[in-house]
Amino acid sequence: MPRHSSVRVACLLIGLTTLAVSLLSSHIDAQSPAPGGFVERATDTDVRPMLTPAQIQSLLPERGLFTFPSPYLTQAVRITNASDCAGADCVWYVGYSYWRNMNNHVGSDTMYIFVGLDEVHGGPTLFGYNKVTDTVTKMGPLFDAGSQWAASTGEGWYFSATLPTTMYVNRPVTSTLERYDVVTRAFTTVFDVASRPDLFGPNRYIWQFHSSNDDRVHSATLRDAATFAELGCLAYREDTQQFFYFPQRGFAYDECQIDKSGTWLLIKEKLGTDPASEVDNRIIDLDTGAETQLLDRDGAGGHSDNGYAYMVAADNWNSLPNAIRLWHFGSNPIVPGNVVYYDPQWQPGSVNHVSHASTRSDVAAEQQYACGSGANAVNGPRTNEIVCFVLDGSLRTLVVAPVMTDMNEPGGGDSYAKYPKGNLDVTGQYFMWTTNMSGSRQDAFIVKVPSQLLTDGGADTIAPSVAITSPAHGSIIVGSTVVTATAYDNVGVVGVQFKLDGANLGAEVMNPPYARTWVPPVTASGQHVLTAVARDAAGNTRTSSAVSVIVIGRLAN
């Protein structure tokens, strides 16, 4: 396959990247708002029931568009199905929250998506999604059968933030990071650590690599190819062909990541300063070489993703349950930013992994959002859902969709593989994850993110959603009964007014759970209609679908 010199490609990249970044900035807000979703505060304790296997199967098409039921009402797209695996469980999980499985599709009707299938069923495979028609096309394996590339799971691979057809890939236990064009099927070597034994030593390979959003700076973990020991973190500036190397301190090394600007290197490892630490942070300015350290006890990032000179990260020592915090780089000591999300309780937790792959350089961090997901055999507030949250500390949380994962079912493999470690695309309008659909197979899905519910700065014109949950339509009522409803809003529900045959049934219920006891009078035998009207602070209202019930008999005094 054709190869080109990295010097020529680096020069070409500067021009292409400038154009692509301009296109991304000018088009990212031009997309049509996605339907559905609702906003609540992270402190809210509502628990939505998990979808049953029967409900899931009734929703899903063979491939393509479907809509989640109330209260979500978001649109999702099924990417893979049983035919891709000859009925087997062959879909590998989405690699991680900070590696994009979707390309930069800005300005194009088609989005490219790669999914890891096992080697028997084609290995890493390319799919095309038409954003206009919502059709999905299986474009085929990315590599020839029998090649060493086809044997890879694709974990750790990712699309460039700016180059639409370019992915970053590498083979197991190899010293090179490669670019791969999914259309021309051409490889280009980005760097090779074997070229610098004076700096890294002999017999080395790279692992868990990352790239800046302008494709200029890359990072990776350096490992020994004989012992597989983690040796430290390296960075490479492609435009100047300059390597940086930071050996680990000798305690417990985890990983490293370059931020989206290409200036800040985040290294996660135990520094030895505090014996109680599990993972501390080293934050290095590649321009000056200055290093800032953030200890675990002071909020060092656990699961995280980076923006431009900041990270959004789990703060495992925070007094708030499962807190996620914003940290800006550039000060020493580093100053803690907003707590942007946390759970109402410690267990079960909700957001296991954070994706901020849609970060923008022209918007303040606090005006952006991140998304995440999780799964647990025990349900809880947002525990088994995809959610997004603003980074301004308001704790406004967008509930997007159920993950449809059952941790007790065999599909997807072990517990780690079942976790929906989904990732955002560059626009922040699509979130991709894998789920076992409460069954024996795992498949890949995309949900359209109604992010305008978090980011719109204008007046609230969106009415709440509301549905009566009890009694059921057609129920026979004998004696008193409790009428209940669920209601959700992009900002917040102020109250729910129950109505009987169009007239108010008691006073408006101001707080969840929304419920009202109805005692039919002795003259009430016959058919009656129940509705519920939800109201938000802006005065927007919506009336639920009517529920018809039959009252039988006369009530004793």
Which CATH number do you get for residue 508? 2.60.40.10
Percent of the chain with pLDDT over 90: 85
Window from 163-177, 378-392, 489-503 with minimum mean pLDDT: 489-503
Residues 471 and 385 in one domain: no
Q: Is residue 265 part of a domain?
A: yes
Q: Which tops the pLDDT comparison, 278 or 30?
A: 278
Residue 505 has pLDDT above 60, yes or no: yes
Distance (Å, rounded) from C-alpha 216 to C-alpha 191? 12
Instruction: Supply 343's token pair.
Output: 């759970």
pTM of the model: 0.81
Amino acid letter for position 420: P
Reported as a pLDDT band with limits 50, 70 and 90, residue 31 is: low
Q: Which tops the pLDDT comparison, 26 or 544?
A: 544
Give how far Cα 414 sits from Cα of 120, 407, 438, Å: 20, 9, 14
Residues 276 and 353 in one domain: yes
Residues 478 and 445 in one domain: no
pLDDT in tens, 309-319: 999 999 999 99
Mean pLDDT score, 220-243:
97
Q: Is residue 97 part of a domain?
A: yes
Distance (Å, rounded) from C-alpha 395 to C-alpha 41? 5
Give the pLDDT score at 22. 37
User: To which H or E segment does residue 58 belong?
Assistant: helix 53-59
Phi, psi of 21 (to 5 degrees): -65, -40
- Tally the domains of the chain: 2
Number of other CB atoms surrounding residue 503 within 10 Å: 6
Residue 121 has pLDDT above 70, yes or no: yes
Residues 426 and 478 in one domain: no
CATH at residue 412: 2.130.10.10
pLDDT in tens, 141-165: 999 999 999 999 999 999 999 999 9
Q: Is residue 94 part of a domain?
A: yes
Give the pLDDT score at 95. 81
Reported as a pLDDT band with limits 50, 70 and 90, residue 13 is: very low
Residues 327 and 446 in one domain: yes
Window from 12-16, 188-192, 419-423, 467-471 with minimum mean pLDDT: 12-16
**Are the C-beta atoms of residues 497 and 504 closer than 8 Å to each other?**
yes
Reported as a pLDDT band with limits 50, 70 and 90, residue 29 is: very low
Q: Is residue 315 part of a domain?
A: yes
Give the pLDDT score at 59. 96
Residue 23 has pLDDT above 90, yes or no: no
Residue 26 has pLDDT above 70, yes or no: no
Name the domain boundary from 455, 490, 525: 455
Residue 8 has pLDDT above 90, yes or no: no
Distance (Å, rounded) from C-alpha 478 to C-alpha 489? 33
Window from 8-12, 186-190, 256-260 with minimum mean pLDDT: 8-12
Give the pLDDT score at 16. 37
Give how far Cα 155 sits from Cα of 261, 405, 410, Å: 23, 20, 21
Give the pLDDT score at 30. 45
Residues 537 and 410 in one domain: no
Give the pLDDT score at 129. 98
Mean pLDDT of the residues in the chain: 91
Distance (Å, rounded) from C-alpha 415 to C-alpha 242? 40
User: To which H or E segment does residue 444 belong?
Assistant: strand 443-448
Name the domain boundary from 416, 435, 455: 455
Percent of the chain with pLDDT over 70: 92
Q: Is residue 460 part of a domain?
A: no
Residues 441 and 525 in one domain: no
Give the pLDDT score at 465. 84
Q: Which residues of 353-391 are buried (b: 16+ CB within 10 A; e: fewer)?
A: bbbbbbbbeeeebbebbbbbbbbbeeebbbbbbbbbbbb
DSSP state of 224: E
| Integer Rg of the chain from CA | 26
Reported as a pLDDT band with limits 50, 70 and 90, residue 11 is: very low
Residues 407 and 494 in one domain: no
Mean pLDDT score, 132-138:
97
Q: Is residue 380 part of a domain?
A: yes
Reported as a pLDDT band with limits 50, 70 and 90, residue 554 is: low
What is the length of the chain? 557
Reported as a pLDDT band with limits 50, 70 and 90, residue 491 is: low
Using DSSP bridges, classify how beta strands 476-477 and 547-551 pair: parallel, antiparallel or unpaired.
parallel
| DSSP secondary structure, 456-521, as one string | --S---PPPEEEEEESPTTPEE-S-EEEEEEEEBSS-EEEEEEEETTEE-SSPB-SSSEEEEE---
Mean pLDDT score, 339-351:
97
Q: Is residue 241 part of a domain?
A: yes
Window from 21-25, 57-61, 64-68 with minimum mean pLDDT: 21-25
Residues 472 and 445 in one domain: no
Instruction: Supply 149's token pair.
Output: 């590339």
Reported as a pLDDT band with limits 50, 70 and 90, residue 524 is: confident
Residues 352 and 484 in one domain: no
Distance (Å, rounded) from C-alpha 191 to C-alpha 178? 8
Reported as a pLDDT band with limits 50, 70 and 90, residue 469 is: very high
Q: Is residue 106 part of a domain?
A: yes
Mean pLDDT score, 218-234:
98
Domain limits at 537? 465-551
Residues 111 and 252 in one domain: yes
Residue 66 has pLDDT above 90, yes or no: yes
Distance (Å, rounded) from C-alpha 26 to C-alpha 53? 42
Residues 365 and 486 in one domain: no
